Each structure stands twice: as structure tokens, then as C-alpha cells.
Amino acid sequence: MGEVEISGSKNAVLPIMAAALLAEGKCEIMDVPELRDVAVMCDLLRSLGSTVSEDYEKSVVTIETKQISTNEAPYDLVKKMRASILIMGPLLAKTGYAKVPLPGGCTIGARPIDLHIKGFRTMGAEIIEGNGYVEAKAEKLVGCNVYLDSPSVGATENIMMAAVLAEGTTVIENVAKEPEIVDLANFLNKMGARIKGAGTDSIKIEGVEALSSAKHAVIPDRIETGTFMVAAAITKGNILIRNVVPDHVKSLTAKLKECGVVIAFSDDGMIVRGDINPITATDIKTLPHPGFPTDMQSQFMALLTVAEGQSTVIETVFENRFMHVKELNRMGANIKEEGNRATVPGGRTLHGAQVVATDLRAGAALVLAGMVADGTTEVSRIFHVERGYSHFVEKFRNLGAAILRIED
């Protein structure tokens, strides 16, 4: 049996780092994964005047913002990472002004920031858009009721961070319920915020005068957990996964069990076995949490290419999240795409090929496919994968994978 330790969550640590801008004093964030996106966020906070120190050996990042030196985020950093937009809420709340370029990140479909803007406007901010920038100004943000047209994770986080220092009470409805939202609320509450309802449909925030420093350990990364769960299934392996919150991967656990994967829990963590039963087809449909996560769709599709029987994959979260299909087909998958639906025939023998990681999770899917393909698979544009997986190659090598990172 191989063992792997899950790192802190990428999607939790980035908003938490942005939220540290709100503190009067030094914040210590623990269980921080060593990722490209974390490095970009550190540089972004430094560009605004924060003192940031990273100790990846101890998985700790310390952030102190004695004075915000500029309210404008530099384009060369923001273009690298979509989560850069999350500095907008804290800057607006603390200083009354923020100017942020429209963000970059993975090209998995339109991810407009209109819901973020709607929230800020409802709290009394004046919004100016143009030349690829968004500006927000407010002498004082005021508590209000905000209804999100869809449960956007980023908008929920940004509005929540803006509301903690607003005057009065803010209620955000139809919010995202992801575990990362709950983790951000827990961190803000440690700093002295008054947030209730994170993880439910509605979040209530009573504004406070100021926030103090806090120490916080980030939750484990549920998408990294899921990727290793699928790795055990696709390779017919037997893996003990440490540092797991079982509730965070419920929908994925259910689907893997439908495929014949045996999953058990012990005091040490989660045991995932793909070596007991034949792996069979199943259908998946991505949905906001607690549904099947869009961030696990491509990895799961790689598994379905070798499962017995035909599967259907429906993507409802992002409209451009089948870019890995063409790459899997280059390896012999024969997946048929129609709009937001993909039909996966299953039972294929994959063969090694030169493929391209079109985004973060697609890159992980191609690596998983390469592990069971005949011959050698070469995945290029691997920087995408390193944005979201800490020590990716090292962890797979420790499990016995024949995987090598080639320097450019």
C-alpha cells in the first residue's frame, strides 16, 4: 500500500491570504501548499505594501500590512491568476478604494465578475469599468441584502470580505457552500468578524470597526484528495491518503464506489482500493457544492476511458471545460462531445502521446491517463499543474509512478 499526505487547499489559502489585508497586525497562515498561485498571491500582497514571509519547509506564510501603499493591483501579476480579484473586497473595505485589472487564470470558460460588482454596488460603492480595469470607490460601505444570481464562489468570498467592515448587517443569499467558504469565514471570525451561516444558502455578516491578527491552519485540498483517489482507481492501486476531510469528498466517493472502487476510513486516513473489483462505467454531472465538483471532471473522465461500459459526462459549471477531450482522444480515448455533454465509450487501451495541459485540472487528468497508457506520455505546459498541486511529481513518484519532470 502506498501513502500520500494531502497539502493545504489552494482554493482556501488564496482568499485567506487576501483577507489578511484586513487585519491590524500580523497573520500567520499554516498548512500553506507550495504552489505557483501562492507565490503570485505573496507577490501581489507585497505590491500593495504588505510584508510577507514564506517558510515552505514549515508550510507557513506570515502577512502583515501596516500600511497599504497602493490600491491598484499590477497587471503583470493579476493576469497570472484569477484569484487576484479577491483583493478587491478587502481593499475596498479597508481603504474605500480599489482598482484591479480584469483577472487571468485557466481558460475554462467565461467567468465574469458581474456578481462581485453587484455586491459592492449594493453596499454603496461606485463602480467604474473600462480599459480592462474595474475601479470601486466608497466613503463607507453599508450593510445590505445581496442575492447572487448563481452561487459564485469568488463573489461570495469577495462580498463577505467587503462586508466584515461595513456599517450594519449584510445578508448574502444563494451563496456558494464550498468548504473553502467556511474556511474563509472561520479565519475572518478569528480576526474578530461576525459571520454566521457559511456553508448554508445564506450568510449573515454584522460589520465591525476593525479586525485583529489571527493564526489559522488551512483545510486539506479536496481536489488534490480527489485526484489521488482517482489515481488509485485508474491504476488499480491501493493508497492510504492522509490529511483528508471525508465530508469534503462525499460526491466523488459515491461516484467512485459506483465504479467499483472500495473506499474505507481508518484513524490514519482514507484507504482507496482500485485493485479489488473491475472498474465499471457511471454517469457524472458537475454541480456547485455539494454536487460533483467541476474541478474533478477531467480526472474522472480519464478514469472512465478505461472503465468497462459507456459513460456520460455533463458539465454544467463552465462552458469550456472539455478542452482535455481532444488530448485524451490523441491517446486513444474516442470520446464524443456534444455541447456540454461528453460520451465516453470506456474499455479503451490508451497509448502514450505528446499532449498539452490546457488548464490545471486537465493537466492532472492527462498525467493520470499517461500512468495507464502503453508507452511514454509527454505532457507539456505543466506550469498549469504546478499552479494547483504541491510537489505533484514527487508525491506520485513516492507512490511508484514512473513520472519525471523535465526542465524546460
Residues annotated as catalytic (active site), given as ranges: 106
Name 87's Cβ contacts closer than 8 Å, sequence gap at least 6: 18, 21, 44, 45, 48, 73, 98, 100
Helix-helix angle 114-122:153-163, to 10 degrees: 20
Give the whole-angstrom CA distance, residue 118 versus residue 116.
Answer: 6
Residue 45 to residue 62: CA distance in whole angstroms: 11
Report the alpha-carbon distance of residue 108 to residue 90 in Å, rounded.
26
Q: How many residues does the chain have?
A: 408
Phi then psi for residue 42, to 5 deg, are -60, -45
DSSP, residue by residue, 114-127: HHHHHHHHHTT-EE
Task: Give kind and range of the element (H or E) at residue 383.
Answer: helix 383-386
Task: Determine contact, residues 327/362, Cβ cutoff 8 Å.
Answer: yes
Rg (the chain; Cα; Å): 21
Cis peptide before 246 (omega within 30 of 0): no
